[in-house]
Amino acid sequence: MFDALYTPIVTEIPAVVVSVEYRLGPEHRLPAAYEDCFEACIGSSKTPTTRWSKHADFSKAFLMGSSWLGNIVYHIKGLIMHQPFFGGIERTESELRLANDRFVPLSLTDLMWDLSLPIGVDRDHEYCNPMAKIKPDQFDQVKSLGWKILVTGFDGDLMIDRQIELWKKLEEKGVSVTGKFDEGGAHAYELGDPTKAKELAIVIKDLVESTTTS
């Protein structure tokens, strides 16, 4: 399914794309998926003899999460958050406006959080709503590492308000972050629209080149 997203990216950028498989809820609730992604990234960086890694420069690694996926790696130059999947107890304007969205309705996102969050917590838990309880030093490590961050989205995605809120908060904290939010679209819209997938690939290419060009 995600070939529609990754093929334009590797066409634009000379890169090795590694897709990580992770455990799913409700059998394996968060942070199981985060832990799996972390282990995969760390393991990859420690196995330079593998066939595919002979063609990859691990000093120029980027982490990209589209929708549900989120994780952390050791050697990275930047973080690409495409339509990051967030929620919360208090409804945003875009959630109310697009509650009955035909692609990803609000009832579906609520159900997904119910099935994936640790038992006993609500949607204001940090896994779901990282903006609910901001700590003074929450983004200090990201800033000190010098990561460049890209946050992208469509205003037809009910999570757009939360994505923009994250972008603004990162910018406020002095993190090197770029926000790219387009009109129309929907959650995961580029998977069915090659033109949008191509546009996203070019935006990602700009970030990669601005980070890796000395």
**Helix/strand/coil (H/E/C) assignment for every residue in 84-130:** CCCCCCCCCHHHHHCCCCCCCCHHHHHHHHHHHCCCCCCCCCCCCCC
Which listed residue (101, 155, 157, 161) is catalytic? 157
Query: Buried b vs exposed e over 65-76: b needs ≥16 C-beta within 10 Å?
Result: bbbebbbebeeb
Cβ neighbors of 36 (< 8 A, separation 6 or more) are 20, 21, 22, 23
* Residue reference for tokens 């940090």: 126
The residue annotated as part of the active site, out of 36, 67, 176, 193, is 67
State the catalytic residue, choosing from 44, 66, 125, 187.
187
Q: Confirm whether 187 is a catalytic residue.
A: yes
The answer to whether the beta carbons of residues 11 and 97 sit under 8 Å apart is: no
Catalytic annotation present for 176? no
Q: Is residue 67 flagged as an active site residue?
A: yes
CA–CA separation, 60 and 57 (whole Å): 6
Active-site amino acid positions: 67, 157, 187
